[in-house]
Structure 1
């Protein structure tokens, strides 16, 4: 059975002075302290320098107060994260999973885009923040390795059937008209029941810091143990009844921008934030965009009813022959239509009422019945039609959501098994 020693964190582990973290008063003592072992993970070590650098990165990127109290409070969770990363990288190495430089470049580009940077500014940006680029690179590589490993390890177990997708979409369609909320989460799991109080204390501190202005997304990336941590804890758009009952009850009370107190579930402690709300709705037909072509034949106010019937039949004859908008334009000209055939592109809702009712259900290539106007008779053909957007997810989006949920559960179990099988010894 692997031996696991409970971590004892020295009060003097980290202090902050003049914006830089130090642990000793002299250069020699400082160097010696940095070489100390913070933890042993199987046959590899995590140094005090590794721990110090990661604490500083977490404080800066999460916009937490830069002081010794913050550093000391964060140290247990940060060390745990480093230990988990070490286990993940060891497992990736055992199974010959690696990350190419091109994959790292894409990850750097994603970080640049997320922070509004131009391509190639990654290292300069990190350095200007006062963070060691090597520390960020290590975390980035570990996240990529773990994601790739989980995908490869469990791909055959994560197969979403068409029936599951259809059932999920049907449930969403049945919920049309209900309020959805955009929810993000931070999950702190409890592996050792004797350490639950430490987890609760950390959760409360994180809530306090986020409410004080720290970035929820940045804190989630550094502390959350959910699979969505790398996207700032974003769960996406959800209805309350899609969440665990304990979470649903809280989400219903949160307004946009609110952050919950820590919520205890069987998984651990959750911190939730609502960033937006909307009503789940079907597409509005009036928001469809259509391009129309017309045939118009005039009728003078002095013309009798017979003349109007004649023009109506002439319009009907044109639309009966036309199979495309180009052909409609040619036939309209031959019939003596005095106006340009192209009516341009409009939203259905923006059209005059008498025209809107005629074209609302027409598809591309279909023509309306003749429409009486005060000065003539017209008919239109739909040349192009763009469907209105819906906030109901499409089947591909639903499939990805279901896959991500399943991968998250498997990843949590995988990491738990790695922890239980490992030799982990903490020395600070």
Structure 2
């Protein structure tokens, strides 16, 4: 298992990826109208407008009045949540140092392939306030530290859980799995549900119109996967909920599902890819085939057909290898050459493919009845086939299980904080 320290660093790093490389200016000094009050702390309309600029730049949304109005509600909710996270972190004596901020900015530059110290300049050039990005960064760092300190120690993953996961992966060879990305919009109170559903529909429309799904997920999604653009990785068909089992298989590559109601809110799913487990690493099946053909006489009677079929059955029981098979072909005077050579399975006719698909090397097929005779095939060698599933490391499985539980616990934690807070939305 990874140490607590190592996991904490990894989790904090993941949350930092929520931040995008975006523009900025100096915060205005003038008194601003109030957008919301969170436990006596103000969020001004200037704060909201600054974050809207950040989101538009990062997601590729059109910078129109209509788009700004559509996203302002969800962005304000995000600002409220960040303020609550910062307040809770302060209450728990968690702080964000200048070193934390410097390392976070360096990480953003590295992730976005920017030169060193280029972030501030890029923000200024794009006319987005620097404080908008720094506030987002500071909240992400503080919240990750808080979760690592208060929630992570409560989570344990047993060796039996890892063994069960590995066994489940092994048993899924050849079955379908999907690579999905998600945006999760949580519903904390019944009176929020309709508004959240409409927000999910608007986000779907924006993605269909060309907005960046991953960027929107980083900004709006309330799942731990927000840190990686909503990427859920590969999911087996059995892992899908009953609702998703009817939706995901019908998605086309690169398309987004309608909003799907879950116990925690609404989800949008993007299909990135699909595959058969283990087959992506496999080579085409190539087999060395031999044949014995027993023709029917002209105007064959039922008895003639039965005799040739019985002979074919005797051959399948008698043949013990390719050399023996060639001798049997001469003895029964098969009119066709015994050797068919090395053939790709996918190049054979569907009937022959079905007959030889599962026959191991050194064994014969059952008699194959054709219109003009009976055919027996011997598989002399077999190469290629399905690849072996590359099993994940045990630590990787443990980390994934931990993150799933931590994500659920974090959403509950924030929900409880929100429910106990005094929040006054002014716009």
TM-score with structure 2 setting the length:
0.66
Q: Is 1:239 the equivalent of 2:225?
A: no
Question: 1:212 aligns to what?
Answer: 209
Residue 76 of structure 2, aligned match among 75, 79, 89: 79
* Equivalent-residue separation in structure 2 for 1:276 and 1:285 (angstroms): 18
Question: 2:150 aligns to what?
Answer: 153
Shift of 1:282: 8.4
| Structure 1 residue ranges without an equivalent (≥5) | 1-19, 21-29, 287-387
Shift of 1:285: 9.4
Q: Is 1:133 the equivalent of 2:130?
A: yes
* Equivalent-residue separation in structure 2 for 1:188 and 1:106 (angstroms): 29
Counting only pairs closer than 5 Å after superposition, residues 12-411 of structure 1 correspond to structure 2 as 35-281=32-278, 391-411=390-410
Shift of 1:283: 10
* Equivalent-residue separation in structure 1 for 2:125 and 2:244 (angstroms): 39
Q: Conserved in 1, the CA contact under 8 Å of 2:278 and 2:388?
A: no
* Equivalent-residue separation in structure 1 for 2:128 and 2:61 (angstroms): 14
Listed one character per residue, the Cα deviations across residues 216-237 of structure 1 (whole Å, up to 9, x for unaligned) are 0111111111122122111111
Q: Conserved in 2, the CA contact under 8 Å of 1:180 and 1:239?
A: yes
Cα gap change, 1:144 to 1:171, in 2 (>3 Å): same
* Equivalent-residue separation in structure 2 for 1:279 and 1:104 (angstroms): 43
Q: Conserved in 2, the CA contact under 8 Å of 1:283 and 1:389?
A: no
Cα gap change, 1:282 to 1:212, in 2 (>3 Å): closer
Shift of 1:247: 2.5
Q: Conserved in 1, the CA contact under 8 Å of 2:170 and 2:389?
A: no
Shift of 1:123: 1.8
- Secondary structure (helix, strand or coil) at the match of 1:276 reads strand
| Structure 2 residue ranges without an equivalent (≥5) | 1-22, 284-386
Q: Conserved in 2, the CA contact under 8 Å of 1:283 and 1:390?
A: no
Shift of 1:245: 2.1
* Equivalent-residue separation in structure 1 for 2:173 and 2:244 (angstroms): 22
* Equivalent-residue separation in structure 1 for 2:110 and 2:389 (angstroms): 27
Shift of 1:284: 6.2
- Secondary structure (helix, strand or coil) at the match of 1:252 reads helix
* Equivalent-residue separation in structure 2 for 1:236 and 1:108 (angstroms): 27
Over the aligned positions, Cα root-mean-square deviation in angstroms equals: 2.5
* Equivalent-residue separation in structure 1 for 2:113 and 2:97 (angstroms): 25
Q: Conserved in 2, the CA contact under 8 Å of 1:282 and 1:392?
A: no
- Secondary structure (helix, strand or coil) at the match of 1:205 reads helix
- Secondary structure (helix, strand or coil) at the match of 1:108 reads helix
Q: How many residues align?
A: 300
- Secondary structure (helix, strand or coil) at the match of 1:420 reads helix
- Secondary structure (helix, strand or coil) at the match of 2:57 reads helix
* Equivalent-residue separation in structure 1 for 2:117 and 2:234 (angstroms): 33
- Secondary structure (helix, strand or coil) at the match of 1:160 reads coil
* Equivalent-residue separation in structure 1 for 2:237 and 2:125 (angstroms): 41
Question: 1:363 aligns to what?
Answer: none
Listed one character per residue, the Cα deviations across residues 225-273 of structure 1 (whole Å, up to 9, x for unaligned) are 1122122111111112213222333222223211111111221111111
Q: Conserved in 2, the CA contact under 8 Å of 1:282 and 1:391?
A: no
- Secondary structure (helix, strand or coil) at the match of 2:391 reads coil
Cα gap change, 1:61 to 1:418, in 2 (>3 Å): same
Shift of 1:280: 2.1
Q: Conserved in 1, the CA contact under 8 Å of 2:179 and 2:232?
A: yes
* Equivalent-residue separation in structure 1 for 2:388 and 2:57 (angstroms): 39
Q: Conserved in 2, the CA contact under 8 Å of 1:280 and 1:392?
A: no
Q: Conserved in 2, the CA contact under 8 Å of 1:51 and 1:79?
A: yes
- Secondary structure (helix, strand or coil) at the match of 2:37 reads strand
Question: 1:368 aligns to what?
Answer: none
Shift of 1:112: 2.2
Cα gap change, 1:250 to 1:108, in 2 (>3 Å): farther
* Equivalent-residue separation in structure 1 for 2:252 and 2:114 (angstroms): 31
